[in-house]
Amino acid sequence: MNPAQLTVPGSDNFGADRRALYLKLFSGEMFKGFQNNTIARDLIMKRTLKNGKSLQFIFTGRTKSEFHTPGNSILGDTNGAPPVAEKTITCDDLLISSAFVYELDEVLAHYDLRSEISRKIGYALAEKYDRLAFRAITRGARKASPITATNYVEPGGTQIRVGSTTNDSDAYVAANLVAAFYDAAAALDEKGVSSDGRVAVLNPRQYYELIQAVGTNGLVNRDVQGDALQKGNGIIEIAGIKIYKSMNIPFLGKYGTAYGGTTGVTDPGNTGDFVGEALENASDASTGINNDYGTALEVGSKSCGLIFQKEAAGMVEAIGPQVQVTSGDVSVIYQGDVMLGRLACGCDYLNPAAAVELYVGATAPSAF
């Protein structure tokens, strides 16, 4: 057979690059992996950063009203209200996840090697993205408002205790969680936070405790019985707060889960290296972090859930999730390709009043 007649499914319109079209498969898989595993991206304010290292957000406080005295000039509030403050979010260094795929391994493998690796790259970026966002919201829940002018102070963050004992197991009691949700909703109302876009992110075991208690905890709803309940989707919202579950929230000193001690939760065994990872020190500038996400000690070991409205935090993205793959001479020299997923972003709290941290124990975690 004449080599010119061979079908080359990887070329683009009979182009010279025999692998040109393979990149699209990888790109799609990476984005699928990222989008399917990040929930924070759609729950907070996201802005694109161009031609700069940081993005400025302006806060405008409230002003006062008064009755007019006939004959007096109207020249504005004597204090120059409303007061204005700013919040600046800086882009962290480039976040990457990569893998080298040896061409011979692809030839010998009986499965789609690139597709599998690309999904895992997407998972890695999504995990870090969510962890940074949730740590920023946790920080905001402990902060005062940027508007601190005398007589014009705006509301700050909220911390709500779950349960009444000093045991970490309070975080898993459905009745405690329901009470905390209603308390949080009332606090957000009192602080003038919009009811639009209110969400909660809980540990999976907390979420399933709520589901099991449907019908006995005041959350009776015909729409969540039967099949929906059995599928683990029985709790849609409490007090107008939509609930999500995630393994990336700060939870009792770890990410997403905690076993032993006073938690009342038994380690199921064989959990691997990535389940229940301890909080790392994510405020060291030498690691590429340019925003303050707090150290493990600052975030603490008593945080057990987040309730917030989309204005609670902002994420700036200089480079959205992107894919890069080597080709040409590089592929020839190394007989394989480097697959790279990358993302340049930064996150911090915006409006503390829109952030609520749930915690257990007698003392609320300190601000940082």
CB-count burial class (<10 Å; 0-12, 13-18, 19+) for 54? middle
CA distance 200 to 338: 38
CA distance 61 to 59: 6
Cβ-contact 257, 203 below 8 angstroms:
yes
Model confidence over 237-273: pLDDT tens digits?
A: 889 999 999 999 999 999 999 999 999 999 999 999 8
Q: What is the pLDDT of residue 76?
A: 80
Beta pairing class for 313-325 and 45-48: parallel
| 30 has a pLDDT exceeding 80 | no
- Segment 171-193 shows an average pLDDT of 96
Higher model confidence: residue 216 or residue 297?
Answer: 297
Q: What topology is assigned to 18-61+82-359 in CATH?
A: phage-related protein like fold (3.90.1690)
Model confidence over 6-17: pLDDT tens digits?
A: 566 777 787 777
pTM score, whole prediction? 0.86
Higher model confidence: residue 176 or residue 38?
Answer: 176
Model confidence over 189-226: pLDDT tens digits?
A: 999 999 999 999 999 999 999 888 766 665 645 455 55
